């Protein structure tokens, strides 16, 4: 099984083009499944090694039952997805004849509505940044860019100056699966990027063009997703906004505010870079005030 897992890893990297983070998670989940089989002495072949041909639906159910005692549904669902993908690959590659997981369903996930900022809170956050130094200029550019484009935090930290077209007011981002898309940028966000570029030229003597990273840390290196999360947390706290969100919350806010202002769901899907419209529907929701207003206006007995 160990050798087949490595072959599957190569398949994920070269043909599925999964992210390094996803690959690490999948390999960790499969290694855990293999360890369970070995420790319980299940499906062992010659040399006491796990033989994938002996894995059946009952073995998989026993493994899932062992996880259910101390793990959330989301964690179990991810581990099951890793195993399902592995066995689908084995069938396609001719390593096994039948998929033992065909009749096993993933646990139903709860889908709570994501926390978002109100429009007033978004403006309060963005307008309330006090500029005392270079990092404050950067932070303002980060927050304005988030709210203006709705990009993922990974797309923001991966942004290069060559990706920004100030004349057309657009930016090119590289999303999941290395899919490229074009996103419009508002003039306010563009101006904060211009101001920030002047700071970079002055502080680090950077050209701000080509493959140079846009958002840097205080050492002049490309910033990280964790650092960006700290930027969001810091300025939410300073602004006194009670809503607890991270970078993804600004993405939710971007989508929700567009939807509440009448933007078409398909347009929002394109802007967010979602492959499926159902994903966009999960990330956007109408606020209660708007629902009530529409109901009062439309229902004949309201």
Positions annotated as catalytic residues are 152, 176, 248, 251, 274, 283
**3-class SS at 56?**
coil
SS (H, E, C) 36-52: HHHHCCCCECHHHCECH
HSE toward the beta carbon, residue 136, CA cutoff 13 A: 9
Evaluate whether 12 touches 26 at the Cβ level (below 8 Å).
Answer: yes
> Which of 171, 250, 176 is CA-nearest to residue 214?
171
Query: Which uninterrupted H or E stretch holds 79?
Result: helix 73-92
Give me the numbers of helices (H) and strands (E) for the chain, helices first please: 13, 3
CA distance 235 to 220: 21
Helix H or strand E segment including 84: helix 73-92
For 231, the enclosing helix (H) or strand (E) is helix 225-239
Phi and psi at residue 184, in whole multiples of 5°? Answer: -70, 150
């Amino acid at each position: 099984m160990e050798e087949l897992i490595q072959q599957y890893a190569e398949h994920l990297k070269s043909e599925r083009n999964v992210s390094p983070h996803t690959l690490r998670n999948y390999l960790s989940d499969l290694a855990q499944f293999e360890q369970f089989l070995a420790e319980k002495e299940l499906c062992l072949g010659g040399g006491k090694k796990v033989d994938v041909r002996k894995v059946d639906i009952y073995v998989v159910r026993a493994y899932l039952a062992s996880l259910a005692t101390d793990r959330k549904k989301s964690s179990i669902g991810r581990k099951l997805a890793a195993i399902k993908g592995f066995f689908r690959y084995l069938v396609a590659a001719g390593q096994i004849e039948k998929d033992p997981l065909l009749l096993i369903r993933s646990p139903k996930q709860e889908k709570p509505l994501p926390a978002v900022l109100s429009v007033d809170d978004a403006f309060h956050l963005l307008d309330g940044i006090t500029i005392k130094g270079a990092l404050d200029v950067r932070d303002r550019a980060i927050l304005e860019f988030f709210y203006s484009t709705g990009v993922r935090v990974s797309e923001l930290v991966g942004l290069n100056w060559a990706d920004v077209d100030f004349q057309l007011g657009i930016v090119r981002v590289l999303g999941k699966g290395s899919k490229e898309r074009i996103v419009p940028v508002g003039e306010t966000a563009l101006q904060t990027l211009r101001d920030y570029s002047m700071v970079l030229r002055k502080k680090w003597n950077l050209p701000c063009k080509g493959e140079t990273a846009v958002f840097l840390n205080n050492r002049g290196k490309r910033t990280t997703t964790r650092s960006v999360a700290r930027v969001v947390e810091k300025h939410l706290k300073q602004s006194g906004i009670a809503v607890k969100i991270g970078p993804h919350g600004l993405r939710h806010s971007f989508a929700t505010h567009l939807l509440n202002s009448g933007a078409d769901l398909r347009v929002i899907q394109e802007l967010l870079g979602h492959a499926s419209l159902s994903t966009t529907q999960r990330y956007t929701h109408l606020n209660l005030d708007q629902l009530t207003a529409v109901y009062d206006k439309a229902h004949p007995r309201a």
